[in-house]
């Protein structure tokens, strides 16, 4: 492979590890003049292995021939993409732990057979562990949900007859997986039958599983563009902006006869109207752009989310063999003593923690729900969200790029209560995959390497120093954090390693439940302790109260819509003071919408902390929060989208932000 030797550093601020790590996953699937693609989504055959005989599919070699012959009752139809848990009426499938099997048949497009090209199978996300066969031949396996994996498969395909793809999926979580979990075998024969076990989750969301995103079959030339890395330095006014780029190219496993000296690149930078604004005939270089249009977040400019395109043509022996177009935005991110700056303007996070979660689909990618969520984000005046607690579909980031919504991109490292080397090794691999996939998205302004780890544990300092060092070596252009929860500023071993302190707090909910009057005292003291010890700006990444839609109490009581609103108002008063003291650089409520969890006595069909229901209908708090976020947009950004900002409170609901705050006080 000659891709590893042509990738170069693109500046002293960036250490591009593709010199040592050959990236085959950085570029998403794209149809171009030189590339084709077909989607294998739809109804697949599905079969569940018995939890007490989990290896039956391997013992009987279900991948050799169809495990779902005609008239069989052992399998069902399963939509892809989706989680399998909520599709049927079978409670054992919803709660299944272990192996399940998918298969479907497909034809390779006939015209592909006339070209000598790579054919690649790509899975955008399978949770958690996957093994893949085509026509009975093993092609790839992958550990970890939420991120893509792929393999060349042209040698396994039937070009003139039907093909069969088989996928085995295992959702079992252990202390060495991300997210973490445990398999528990109760040692009590009086209460549990022989062989009984259950999956213990170390996090508060349902462990949805299956083929969660699209399955794609696509082609590239034998000599192809394998990676494009773009770093920008954005300047306003007359000072020119800079675009550094690095194009990596590779050759197919089936053809390694070419020498890299014969490969050249032609690069064009196109504006949003496809006009060429700069060009260079190099695979690594720098473009200087005068009067550039910068990428701005929502409400910070009249024109948000402006994107350029880098069009790359790869030539071999002076013949164009591959074409790829990579979108990007011109923007710069830095952290000051008082907070986050985008293009040297102060940025205050008005946002949400979210989940990829919806009825029936589970965690399966759902395009209508994605669009609805973004519409609600903008309606509420939010400018940001965190991909809690795992990487989201790349379509989500594409849409955030185009609409100026800022993203804190989080790894699936949730439930880290131990720090063994085996977990660390996997964590490093996950961060590499995540950054390779998402580093060209302008909406992604910070990496979060974990959520609520036991960072007061003595092993956490070495663990997070290793993970954060790798993250910064892969991408030195963005700040890095992990989200702190349940720790103490005086005891934390790892918080000093991050660029911004992201902190979750639930005063008057998990601690001192119902005692709203304690929030100002407890929250203010705690955040000031963190800020003074570590001298870093703070984002509140979670605060919230479970709320049952339609439950009203006066005076307010926990779980009522009134309590959720008063709870938020108490937090907001502290946030405003911390912002004035130049400590706080953002606030994100938990959660955007209600979501499913494991069955627990403190969960009534899921976590109900959403300001929207799971069906995306607003609770009272959504209207209350909307007025706060738009007021912050006007006070801080000095720029609002008039068509989305509320024109009058009474037009939407009786809750007027200033009146509620005054009433609470």
Peptide bond into 128 cis (omega under 30): yes
616/597 Cα distance (integer angstroms): 17
Q: Which two tokens mark 462? A: 């070495």
- For residue 248, give Cα distances in angstroms to 226, 258, 276: 6, 15, 22
Q: What is 62-127 written as a DSSP string?
A: TTTS-SS-TT-SS-EEEEESS-STTTSS-HHHHT--SEEEEEEEE---GGGGGS-EEEEEEES-EE
Residues tagged active-site: 452
Cα 214 to Cα 276: distance, rounded to the nearest angstrom: 33
367/585 Cα distance (integer angstroms): 31
The residue to which tokens 């009590």 are assigned: 188
On whether the CB atoms of residues 237 and 257 are closer than 8 A, the answer is: no
Q: What are the two backbone dihedrals, phi and then psi, of residue 521, each rounded to the nearest 5 degrees?
A: -65, -50
Which tokens in the block code for residue 76?
A: 């069902």
Distance separating the N- and C-terminal Cα atoms of the chain: 67
Omega cis (within 30) before 81: yes
The dihedral built from the CA positions of residue 42, 48, 54 and 60, taken in this order, carries a sign that is: negative
Distance between CA 381 and CA 301 in Å, rounded? 14
Tokens of 170: 């295992």
User: Alpha-carbon distance 254 to 266, whole Å?
Assistant: 25
Please state at what angle helix 367-380 crosses helix 394-403, rounded to 10 degrees.
30
Which H helix or E strand runs over 302? none
Please list the alpha-helical segments (H only) found in 546-591.
561-580
DSSP letter at 501 equals E
DSSP conformation class of 637:
I
3-state secondary structure 343-410: CCEEECEEEEECCCCECCCECCCCHHHHHHHHHHHHHHCCCEEECCCCCCCHHHHHHHHHHCCEEEEE
């Amino acid at each position: 492979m000659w891709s590893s030797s042509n990738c170069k550093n693109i500046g002293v601020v960036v250490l591009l590890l593709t010199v040592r790590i050959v990236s085959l996953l950085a570029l998403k699937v794209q149809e171009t003049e030189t590339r084709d693609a077909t989607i294998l989504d739809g109804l697949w055959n599905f079969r569940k292995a018995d939890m007490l005989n989990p290896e039956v599919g391997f013992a009987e070699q279900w991948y050799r021939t169809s495990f779902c012959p005609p008239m069989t009752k052992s399998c069902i139809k399963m939509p892809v993409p989706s989680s399998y848990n909520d599709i049927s009426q079978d409670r054992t499938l919803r709660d299944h732990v272990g192996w399940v099997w998918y298969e479907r048949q497909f034809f390779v497009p006939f015209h592909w057979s006339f070209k000598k090209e790579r054919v690649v199978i790509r899975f955008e996300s399978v949770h958690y562990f996957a093994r893949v066969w085509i026509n009975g031949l093993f092609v790839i396996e992958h550990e970890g949900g939420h991120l893509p994996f792929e393999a060349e498969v042209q040698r396994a395909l039937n070009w003139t007859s039907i093909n069969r793809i088989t996928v085995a999926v295992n959702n079992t979580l252990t202390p060495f997986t991300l997210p973490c979990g445990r398999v528990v075998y109760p040692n009590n024969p009086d209460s549990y039958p022989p062989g009984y076990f259950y999956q213990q989750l170390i996090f508060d969301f349902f462990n949805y599983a299956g083929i969660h995103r699209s399955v794609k079959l696509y082609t590239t030339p034998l000599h192809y563009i394998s990676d494009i890395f773009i770093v920008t330095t954005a300047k306003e006014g007359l000072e020119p902006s800079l675009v550094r780029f690095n194009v990596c190219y590779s050759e197919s496993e089936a053809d390694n006869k070419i020498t890299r000296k014969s490969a050249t690149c032609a690069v064009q930078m196109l504006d949003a109207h496809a006009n060429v604004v700069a060009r260079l005939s190099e695979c690594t270089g720098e473009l200087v752009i005068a009067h550039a249009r910068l990428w701005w977040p929502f409400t910070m400019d009249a024109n948000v989310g402006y994107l350029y395109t880098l069009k790359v043509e790869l030539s071999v022996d002076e013949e164009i063999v591959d074409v790829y177009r990579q979108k990007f935005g011109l923007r710069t991110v830095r952290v000051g003593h008082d907070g986050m700056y985008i293009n040297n303007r102060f940025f205050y996070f008005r946002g949400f923690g979210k989940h990829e979660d919806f009825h029936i689909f589970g965690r399966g990618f759902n395009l209508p729900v994605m669009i609805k969520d973004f519409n609600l984000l903008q309606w509420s005046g939010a400018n940001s969200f965190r991909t809690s607690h795992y990487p989201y579909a790349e379509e989500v980031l594409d849409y955030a790029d185009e609409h100026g919504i800022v993203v804190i991109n989080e790894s699936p490292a949730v439930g880290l209560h131990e720090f063994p080397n085996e977990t660390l090794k996997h964590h490093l691999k996950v961060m590499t995959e995540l950054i390779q996939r998402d580093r060209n998205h302008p909406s992604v302004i910070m990496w979060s390497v974990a959520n609520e780890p036991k960072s007061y544990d003595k092993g956490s300092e070495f663990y997070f120093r290793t993970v954060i060092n790798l993250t910064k070596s892969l991408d030195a252009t963005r700040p890095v954090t992990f989200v702190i929860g349940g720790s103490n500023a005086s005891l934390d071993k790892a918080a000093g390693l991050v660029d911004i302190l992201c902190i979750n707090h639930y005063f008057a909910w998990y601690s001192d439940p119902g005692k709203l009057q304690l929030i100002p005292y407890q929250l203010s003291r705690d955040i000031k302790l963190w800020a003074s010890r570590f001298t870093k700006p703070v984002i509140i990444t979670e605060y919230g109260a479970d709320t049952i839609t339609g439950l009203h109490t006066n005076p307010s009581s926990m779980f009522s819509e009134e309590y959720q609103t008063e709870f938020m108002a108490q937090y907001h008063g502290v946030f405003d003071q911390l912002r004035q003291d130049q400590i706080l650089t953002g606030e994100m409520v938990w959660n955007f919408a209600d979501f499913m969890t494991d069955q627990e006595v403190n969960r009534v069909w899921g976590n109900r902390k959403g300001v929207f229901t799971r069906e995306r209908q607003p609770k009272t708090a959504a209207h209350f929060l909307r007025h706060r976020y738009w007021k912050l947009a006007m006070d801080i950004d000095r720029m609002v989208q008039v068509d989305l900002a509320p024109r009058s409170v009474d037009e939407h609901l009786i809750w007027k932000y200033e009146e509620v705050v005054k009433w609470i006080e």
